[in-house]
Amino acid sequence: MKTQSWPSKAKKFASLAAAGAGAVSLTASKAEASIILSPDLNVTIGFTGSSVGRGVHTAASHFFNTFASGPSFGFKAIETGNGSLYGRRLEAAGNAAFETVASIITPFPADAVMNSLSGSGKLIAARHWSNVSSSVSGAGFPFNDAFYLFRFDNGGVKYGWLEASLALSFLPNADPAAGPSLTVIRYAFDNTGNSIAAGQTDLATPEPASLAETGIGALLLGAEGLRRWRKARKAA
């Protein structure tokens, strides 16, 4: 009967474990590569100064395009005034179409998923005031770390999320702190065309069936993994 020395067995064990580890690594890399995450941006688009002139003009703007094959976002801070009624508003531009409710770009909580393919609205939030009153519109309320959901077409429709915070108040004056001002924190998109949940940064990697069936997955988990695998085999 042919026997196998311990060094040979150890070498074979190491080879199997390495093969299993390689399979796990390749599977994980393939899954994670489909979600592209921007660096932390933390850029605020808003207003400066405490007076608003007559007419309509763009007080500030910012453009994001950190990936050549990704979405582009343009945000504009626009002022309006006619001598008695004044306004400041934030609008979106670029090749990303945001999820909207009643034509207003709407923030969502984590894990929300884009539901519709419509959405041509550009308004994020606005504030209007006069000597006697003030009002807000758009998203309507300040928020921290919520998500805008978007889609864009670059060789096919792709989906993503943009994390942001909004400052906004009812103050009836041109105080810049009253807003609206938007802080863009970061964004992500799936480059395969699959849907993506708000805040999602990677894809879950399921255990490959072949690893579980052959016990290689158990080898990678060490002695405890081997014990569980052997117990499951006996019970089967």
Handedness of CA 109, 39, 28, 13 (dihedral sign): negative
Q: Are 112 and 147 in contact (CB under 8 A)?
A: yes
Amino acid 69: pLDDT: 85
pTM of this structure = 0.71
Amino acid 228: pLDDT: 57
- Decide: helix, strand or coil at residue 79: strand
Amino acid 163: pLDDT: 98
Tell me the C-alpha to C-alpha distance, in Å, between residue 93 and each of 71, 82, 87: 11, 25, 19
Amino acid 39: pLDDT: 94
Residue showing tokens 């158990």: 218
Amino acid 73: pLDDT: 94
The tokens for 42 are 């933390």
Per-domain residue ranges of the chain? 6-34+203-235, 37-190
**CA–CA distance, 184 with 194 (Å, rounded to integer):** 23
Amino acid 127: pLDDT: 96
Residue showing tokens 């000597």: 131
Q: Are 148 and 96 in contact (CB under 8 A)?
A: no
The tokens for 44 are 């605020």
Q: Are 191 and 46 in contact (CB under 8 A)?
A: no
Closest CA to 191 of 38, 74, 63: 38
Listed as ranges, residues in the chain with pLDDT below 70 are 1-33, 116-119, 140, 204-236
Render 131-149 in DSSP notation, one character per residue.
Answer: SS-EEEEET-S-EEEEEEE
Amino acid 139: pLDDT: 78
DSSP state of 177: G
